[in-house]
Amino acid sequence: MYPHLLAPLDLGFTQLRNRVLMGSMHTGLEEERGELKKLAAFYEERAKGGVGLIVTGGFSPNLRGRLHPLSSQLSTQSHANKHKVVTEAVHKHGGKIALQILHAGRYAMHPFSQSASATRAPISKFTPFKMSERQIRSTISDFASTAKLAQSAGYDGVEVMGSEGYLINQFICQRTNQRHDEWGGSYQNRMRLPLEIVKSIREKVGKEFIIIFRLSMLDLVEQGSTFDEVVELAQALEKAGVTLINTGIGWHEARIPTIATQVPRAAFSWVTEKVKPHLSIPVITCNRINTPEVAEDILSQGHADMVSMARPFLADPDFVNKAAAEKSKLINTCIGCNQACLDNVFKGKQASCLVNPRACSETEMPMVAATMKKRVAVIGAGPAGLACATIAAERGHYVDLFEKSDRIGGQFRLAMQIPGKEEFRETIRYFANRIEETGVNLKLDTEAQLSDISEYDEVVIASGVKPRALNIEGMSSSDKVVDYQTLIREKTALGNKVAIIGAGGIGVDVASMITEPDQHGINDWLDEWGIDQSLEHAGGILPLPDCISDKQVWLMQRREGRVGKGPGKTTGWIHRTTLQKRGVNLMGGVAYQKVSEQGLHITINEQDTILDADNIIICAGQESVRPFEEQWASLGEKLHVIGGADLAGELDAVRAIRQGTKIAMSL
């Protein structure tokens, strides 16, 4: 079914069992004290699940290259010995694993950061020290000794992180390299660092060791590399002894989304496709590839020799085995939300996954069969209820899942209708198939009452939320007013002037939905973000075009301060940039006075104003739905309340699915 994806790749001295690379991703487990047992368990599940080649999160070759003061580093034999448990766990299941060597350069979040020149990154508080010739030489040697140590720990190779704007990328591009010695100036000089690193690694590790180079093919920043420079470096790297070239897209400081859910699937594989004909070693592509179908399509068209996916393996460790067994409908698809993986890592927390809370908690959340089979009633087939019902059934319980409406999905069914959030549909597809696989008895169009569930051994209430009703004068009698659920569900027709009350995650989603331009595909999206598809401009960027919406939209909150970021740590800026480009008015410090025929009356900066809105959309948070709450006490200890029914205030799918999973594992 996926002949290209599942075909082995012969690297001469070794063979990969398929074309799937699990891309590097920092999980927070790398910094575990003592043996790296949790990291080993995490990778073991992925190797068991069929991945061909795993690349670890980044390990620094020295102290100053660490991303954070306490970040992971591999530079002593005793460090290397601790890694043996990881490599053995992967090899046990026929997988291969490479260690990523990452020197953060000026992205390091500590005062000892170093770079080609002393220029501060826009996303960092620290100005780096300019590296001396001696420091450059010792850094090259540190890269080589880390690679040698990795080899001694049983790794099959290393990946040299040369993209995303880290140290090596900082030497390559004029943007960050203003040196006039043999490490700066001409391109020959600027690419000296990566070439010297690769040569000295190859010298230390011998011929039969994988060296992957993560090459920034599209920097997406001003004064980035030109396409000719990218090709020149790729060819020189091949000569220097690299085994595989991996694709890097965008520096971390770039203001263009590259992996968020709004990015169309495989939106950047065309870049790899353009580099590939210039090389004879295999080339890997990446970014927003999340299904075997998309991966197969890329490979079958010859755009790359391998595909790299990182987050999809947090979402489902068995991705490859399911694809191979023609069970791709049972893959728990990564929806690109970043909410539990990158958002967590950027907050200094351990990574997890919104759709798979077990990710990175494999040792704390083992999947074990129930010792006593129970009858379990779950009320509500939203994300919390679905996670709970399917896991409880998988563990061997008899589960009845009651759903008031005629379909499953709850809030995800609304989310999937927001442009750029279509991936939520995949989670619903996954759960629909899991219900069948695990034997959950789904009762649609069934509003459970106490009498229906009192005989069960365990009762889980996951009845979700409803929009918060507001009490603003004139609102209840106005036909201008609509709540977000009704708007999305019934596709209410809107006038040209729209006021949105509430600028949380949902207000932002609604504002972007109603201002969405007609888009037809990847090319429109690339144009909207000013990405140069001709690759004639350095860094691959063009000026960011405006795409002012025909609609006049006001997005408001009562709080003072920044409006329109949405809740995501790593995605907030994308929402805000999108809304600004479309001309949405972002207003904080608003007091709502009344609704009249004229529109919405507000006070802002102590001034009374009327927004002559045709429609007013309420996105002011939620309230819990708690059916027959007054009778809950009679259920005693067998009652469990989860998701929005438990707490609407911070309604959050990460919490809902995690809660559902944990309860199901405890029954």
221 is a site residue for ligand NAP (CB under 6 A):
no
Q: Of 43, 166, 484, 592, which is the active-site residue?
A: 166
Residue 503 binds: one of ligand NAP, ligand SF4, none (C-beta under 5 to 8 A by kind): ligand NAP
Cβ atoms 360, 620 nearer than 8 A: no
Of 51 and 514, the one with the shorter C-beta distance to ligand SF4 is 51
Of 196 and 652, the one with the shorter C-beta distance to ligand SF4 is 652
Q: Which of residues 592-631 bind ligand NAP (CB under 6 A)?
A: 619-622
3-class SS of residue 400:
strand
Cα–Cα nearest to 170, from 200, 201, 194: 194
| Cβ neighbours, 10 Å, residue 255 | 16
Of 435 and 620, the one with the shorter C-beta distance to ligand NAP is 620
Q: Indicate which single residue of 506, 514, 579, 587 sits in contact with ligand NAP (rule: CB under 6 A).
A: 506
The stretch near ligand SF4 (CB under 6 A) out of 12-20, 308-316, 388-396, 632-640 is: 308-316
Q: Environment class of residue 129 by beta-carbon count within 10 Å: exposed (0-12), middle (13-18) or buried (19+)?
A: middle
Of 281 and 314, the one with the shorter C-beta distance to ligand SF4 is 314
* Contacting residues for 129 by C-beta, under 8 A, at least 6 apart: 112, 113, 114, 115, 118
Residue 166 catalytic? yes
Token output for 67 = 């991303």
568 is a site residue for ligand NAP (CB under 6 A):
yes
- Calculate helix-pair angle for 653-666, 383-394, nearest 10 degrees: 30
**Tally of CA atoms within 13 A in the half-sphere of 19 that contains its CB:** 25
* Contacting residues for 355 by C-beta, under 8 A, at least 6 apart: 315, 332, 333, 334, 335, 427, 430, 657
Cβ atoms 258, 268 nearer than 8 A: yes
353 is a site residue for ligand SF4 (CB under 6 A):
yes
315 is a site residue for ligand SF4 (CB under 6 A):
yes
Token output for 569 = 């740590």
Q: Which residue has tokens 């379909």?
A: 407
Nearest 5°: phi and psi at 651? -45, 125
Residue 434 binds: one of ligand SF4, ligand NAP, none (C-beta under 5 to 8 A by kind): none
The minimum distance between CB 595 and ligand NAP, in angstroms, equals: 13
Q: Indicate which single residue of 52, 336, 566, 643 sits in contact with ligand NAP (rule: CB under 6 A).
A: 566
d(CA 224, CA 248): 13
| Contact flags string 331-350 toward ligand SF4, x per CB under 6 A | ---xxxxxxxx---------
The stretch near ligand NAP (CB under 6 A) out of 128-136, 382-390, 495-503, 657-665 is: 495-503
d(CA 299, CA 283): 11
- Calculate helix-pair angle for 84-91, 37-48, nearest 10 degrees: 20
502 is a site residue for ligand SF4 (CB under 6 A):
no
Of 83 and 658, the one with the shorter C-beta distance to ligand SF4 is 658
61 is a site residue for ligand NAP (CB under 6 A):
no
The minimum distance between CB 249 and ligand SF4, in angstroms, equals: 16
Cβ atoms 631, 642 nearer than 8 A: no
| Contact flags string 459-478 toward ligand NAP, x per CB under 6 A | -----------x--------
Residue 36 binds: one of ligand NAP, ligand SF4, none (C-beta under 5 to 8 A by kind): none
The minimum distance between CB 37 and ligand SF4, in angstroms, equals: 22
Token output for 30 = 């790398």
Q: Which of residues 333-352 bind ligand NAP (CB under 6 A)?
A: 339
Cβ atoms 336, 288 nearer than 8 A: yes
Residue 315 binds: one of ligand NAP, ligand SF4, none (C-beta under 5 to 8 A by kind): ligand SF4
Q: Indicate which single residue of 28, 50, 382, 505 sits in contact with ligand NAP (rule: CB under 6 A).
A: 505
Residue 357 binds: one of ligand SF4, ligand NAP, none (C-beta under 5 to 8 A by kind): none
Which residues in 545-572 are b (16+ Cβ under 10 Å) and which e? Answer: eebebebbbbbbbeeeeebbbbebbbbb
Of 140 and 354, the one with the shorter C-beta distance to ligand SF4 is 354
Judged by the rule CB under 6 A, the positions of this chain that interact with ligand NAP are: 339, 470, 501-507, 509, 557-559, 566-568, 619-622, 650-652
Catalytic site residues? 166
Judged by the rule CB under 6 A, the positions of this chain that interact with ligand SF4 are: 311, 314-315, 334-341, 353-355
